[in-house]
């Protein structure tokens, strides 16, 4: 529910203050992808929460999420970043998630220009995002079980 409120608030701000104009279908697709992203990447958050001590969890999350976002081209197009980052980006789940989000609001040809990365099939991006969610979810489950065993003694 919280994710839906954030997505709706961000969309409202984009439309009112940013002048973003999309048809209803694109707004719905974008909102769906953003909400799904919260669910997908929450697995990483859970893994961090179970693996790190409470005071270190926020630091670890920032040390992971910010570089992932940067290396995925969220802050600058990949074409404007060092070549090594562009070489690494296709192996990051955040890159593929970004490609799905961009494709929801603009044509594929514009995505390539905007991001500085060649477009790939949507199925490839979905597979990367879902696969990473499964792997991160498994890591979170293993960490949760480890913590449960540790607490029981």
pLDDT at 2: 86
Per-residue model confidence as pLDDT tens digits over 55-72: 899 999 999 999 999 999
With respect to residue 88, please indicate whether it lies within any of the assigned structural domains: yes
Establish if 114 belongs to a structural domain. Answer: yes
Average pLDDT over the chain, rounded to whole?
Answer: 91
Q: Is the pLDDT of residue 112 over 80?
A: yes
Closest CA relative to residue 68, chosen from 37, 102, 101, 92: 92
Overall number of domains in the chain:
1
Q: How many CB atoms lie within 10 A of CB 64?
A: 15
Q: Give pLDDT, residue 153.
A: 60
For residue 63, the enclosing domain spans 24-152
Among the ranges given (50-59, 61-70, 81-90), the one the predictor scored with the smallest mean pLDDT: 50-59
Structure tokens at 148: 């449960």
């Amino acid at each position: 529910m919280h994710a839906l409120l954030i997505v709706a608030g961000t969309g409202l701000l984009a439309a009112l203050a940013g002048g973003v104009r999309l048809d209803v279908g694109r707004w719905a697709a974008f909102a769906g992808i953003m909400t799904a992203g919260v669910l997908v990447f929450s697995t990483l958050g859970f893994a961090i929460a179970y693996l790190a001590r409470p005071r270190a969890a926020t630091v670890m999350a920032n040390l992971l999420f910010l570089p992932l976002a940067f290396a995925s081209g969220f802050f600058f197009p990949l074409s404007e970043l060092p070549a090594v980052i562009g070489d690494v980006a296709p192996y990051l789940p955040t890159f593929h998630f970004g490609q799905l989000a961009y494709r929801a609001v603009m044509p594929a040809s514009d995505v390539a220009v905007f991001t500085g990365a060649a477009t790939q099939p949507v199925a490839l991006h979905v597979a990367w995002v879902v696969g990473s969610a499964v792997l991160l979810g498994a890591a979170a489950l293993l960490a949760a079980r480890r913590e449960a065993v540790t607490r029981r003694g």
